[in-house]
Structure formats: C-alpha cells, structure tokens
Amino acid sequence: MRGHHRIRAFLQSLGIEHPVLLSPMAGGAGTPELVAEVSNVGGLGAWGGAYASPEQILQAAKTIRALTDRPFGINLFAGGYASQSSVDPAPMLAVMRAVHDELGLPSPVLPSLPASPFAEQLDAVIEARPANFSFTFGIPDAQALARLRKADIVTGGTATHVDEARALEDAGVDYIVAQGEEAGAHRGTFLKSFDEAMVPMRTLVREIAAAVNIPVVASGGIMDGNDIAETLQLGAVAAQLGTAFLPCPECGTPDVHKRLILEARDDTTMITRVFSGRHARGMRNDFIDRVPPDTILPFRQQNDLTRPMRVAAGAQGKAGYLSLWAGRGVTRARAMPAGELVHTLVAEIAGA
C-alpha cells in the first residue's frame, strides 16, 4: 500500500520504529528522562529547548545521550517574540502583586521585552547534532535551514493552517506537524489569524496531506492507538502526542497538574493568553478567570512576569496559579510509565 510505504520511509528518515512522536515540551514537562524513554522503546523523544540557554541545550543533549543511543529531537520557538508593546503594564502588575501576596512571594518586577534567543539556541542545537530538529511559531531563515541540512538533521515545522504548511514546504522543511485546535499548550500559528487557524485536527491533517508533498505528522487531542490509526488513514505518517505523556512518572510537570489531568471527567480546557501572552490551551482555573484579557502583556514578557507565580504554585500545589496545559483529549489520559504507554499505543494501532 502507498500509505505503508510513506510511513515506513518517514520512520526510516528518523531512524525510529513506531509512528509515535513525543511532543517537545519546553518549560519543565519534557525531561531528558522522558525524551530518552520514548526513544528507547522505538518512538521519537524530543526535548523542548525554547526557554533554555545554549549551555542548557548542550547539557540536555548530553544527558539524553547518556540515557539512550537512539535518535531524538530538539525543538525551539522560531518566532513569536514581540519587539514592542502598546499595553500599559500597570493593571497586569497590580493583579500580579495581589497574587504574589497570596503566594508569599516578593513584589513582582516588570521583565523587559526579551529579544528572540533563537540564533544562539540554534548554534547549540547544531553543535549537539540531534537526529531531528523541530520548531513552532514561525520558520527559520534559509541560512539556518541550510545549516541544519548540512548537519544531516531532519527538520519538522508546525502548521496550524494549510497556508502555513505550504510555506514550510516551500522553505524546504522535511516534514510538517499539523497542529489541530485540540492541541495542548501553545498554538503554533504564525501566518494566519488566531481564528482562521483554529482547525480541527482531522480536517487539518486531511487538508495538509492533500496540499503538500512532504510527510505530515498529526497532532492535537490524540490519546490512544485508535486515534493514531485513524490519522494514518487520513494521510498522516505518524502522530505527535503531548497530553497523553503528561501523567508519566518521567514527566517533569508538577504532581498537582498530573493529578488534575488523571481526574478530569470533563474537558474544561480553553484557549488563554494569560500565562505567556500567546494563545495556549489549558484547563480552566482561577488565574485564567482573574486576568482581564486586555491587560495581558505580549509574549514573552507576560511569560516571564508569570514565571515566579507558576514556579511557586507548582511547589505549593496550588493549581489555581499554574498553567495547566492540556489538550482536548485530557479526559482520556492514562497513568503509565512512558515506555509502557508507547508499547500500549503500538499494540492498539496494530489492533485498530
């Protein structure tokens, strides 16, 4: 079958056995242990380096390599940084002052609008030479993509709309991650408006697979092997799962986040900008309800402003002030170690 050939060729290009990719998860959830475990059992583990310094990227690659000799990926944000802001920071700072009081933190300080660290981070990625480099929020420039190609690193770019997929293909990216509206955490949207790019995963995979000639990886709300088998039928060559791996013991997200995911009986997820300044999907909580949308600062200033709150809330087990990232499949998350989850997914794909 043509489909089987396409899938096999993609897995071969990455040197992996199963059509299961771990979502790169920057910010603590995606530990080197989680990445290595997924790779060790024949999937592709990927480490989210978007908030990391070049030194931390090199260190993470070293740690992963000590735990696995299999291929793995590193992921960065290839855009999305605001260079100026027209938002008065006073109202947001007032909200944060009250929250910091409740959490016993010193008064918040307004962070600067940081410049994108992408160029320095990419140097570290190329030095670390993972098998795979993926990115979201934009497209690296032609010179960056040429350097990755020269280093034999397979590149994957995130698209939330068929036009973004076409732009990624035109730029010479090796494969597309089609991120449906169901996906947990940040929207990768970079060419279209937020609304235009809220496309359901199944529709997006079908549209992109028809529009481009490079492999498409399905992503967003995929929780079991049946879901994966279905996306392969729609034209995908693999699936990328984040929320399904969040409850794993190898995952670095706070225990209270894992518990709320496993206890979720209804999908309470919604899209919010309150935590980072960028649209992202997470479970509804007090902080989302408390912040008036027009007071939110741009990415990544808002992200840096809310970081002390999120770290303290994680340590204190206060779910109301955590970014409870999760996709629409949250009610179907299962408690298992990462290796067992990959084995379970593979068995379910075979049985579907």
Ligand X SMILES: Cc1cc2nc3c(=O)[nH]c(=O)nc-3n(C[C@H](O)[C@H](O)[C@H](O)COP(=O)(O)O)c2cc1C
- Quick note: the x/- pattern for ligand X over 275-304, rule CB under 6 A, is ------------------------------
Task: Give the residue with the Cβ less far from ligand X, 184 or 314.
Answer: 184
What distances in angstroms separate CA 241 from CA 24, 199, 237, 343, one per listed residue? Answer: 9, 17, 14, 14
Per-residue tokens: 115: 């410049």
Q: How far apart are CA 345 and CA 352, in angstroms?
A: 10
- Tell me: does residue 23 bind ligand X (CB under 6 A): yes
How many residues line the site for ligand X (CB under 6 A)?
27
Q: Is 330 within 8 Å of 283 (Cβ atoms)?
A: yes
Angle of the 32-40 helix axis to the 338-351 helix axis, nearest 10: 40
Q: Please name the amino acid found at residue 347.
A: A
- Tell me: does residue 269 bind ligand X (CB under 6 A): no
Task: Give the shortest CB-137-to-ligand X separation in angstroms.
Answer: 8
Task: Give the residue with the Cβ less far from ligand X, 169 or 181.
Answer: 181
- Tell me: does residue 24 bind ligand X (CB under 6 A): yes
* List 11, 16, 26, 264, residue binding ligand X (CB under 6 A): 26
Handedness of CA 177, 183, 186, 189 (dihedral sign): positive
Report the candidate in 62, 63, 189 with the shortest Cα–Cα distance to residue 127: 62
Q: How does DSSP assign 178-237, residue by residue?
A: EE-TT-SEE----SS-TTTT---HHHHHHHHHHH-SS-EEEESS--SHHHHHHHHHTT-S
- Tell me: does residue 230 bind ligand X (CB under 6 A): no
Report the candidate in 346, 320, 296 with the shortest Cα–Cα distance to residue 20: 346
Nearby residues of 25 by Cβ (< 8 Å), 6 or more positions away: 48, 185, 242, 245, 251
* List 329, 333, 338, 346, residue binding ligand X (CB under 6 A): 329
Task: Give the shortest CB-225-to-ligand X separation in angstroms.
Answer: 14
Task: Give the residue with the Cβ less far from ligand X, 46 or 95.
Answer: 46
Task: Give the residue with the Cβ less far from ligand X, 29 or 338.
Answer: 29
Task: Give the shortest CB-254-to-ligand X separation in angstroms.
Answer: 11
Task: Give the residue with the Cβ less far from ligand X, 305 or 324.
Answer: 324
Task: Give the residue with the Cβ less far from ligand X, 156 or 298.
Answer: 156
- Tell me: does residue 272 bind ligand X (CB under 6 A): no
What residues numbered 29-48 form the site for ligand X, per CB under 6 A? 29, 48
- Tell me: does residue 325 bind ligand X (CB under 6 A): yes
What residues numbered 111-170 form the site for ligand X, per CB under 6 A? 136, 158
Tell me the H-state helices in the chain.
Answer: 2-14, 32-40, 54-67, 90-103, 118-128, 142-150, 162-171, 201-211, 225-233, 255-263, 286-290, 301-316, 338-351
Task: Give the residue with the Cβ less far from ligand X, 184 or 298.
Answer: 184
Task: Give the residue with the Cβ less far from ligand X, 235 or 329.
Answer: 329
Task: Give the residue with the Cβ less far from ligand X, 108 or 254.
Answer: 254
Task: Give the shortest CB-73-to-ligand X separation in angstroms.
Answer: 10
Report the candidate in 252, 287, 320, 298 with the shortest Cα–Cα distance to residue 29: 252
What residues numbered 59-98 form the site for ligand X, per CB under 6 A? 75
Task: Give the shortest CB-188-to-ligand X separation in angstroms.
Answer: 6
Task: Give the shortest CB-222-to-ligand X separation in angstroms.
Answer: 6
Q: How far apart are CA 134 and CA 156, in angstroms?
A: 4
Per-residue tokens: 298: 């741009």
Site of interaction with ligand X (CB under 6 A): 23-26, 29, 48, 50, 75, 136, 158, 179, 182-185, 219-222, 240-244, 325, 327, 329
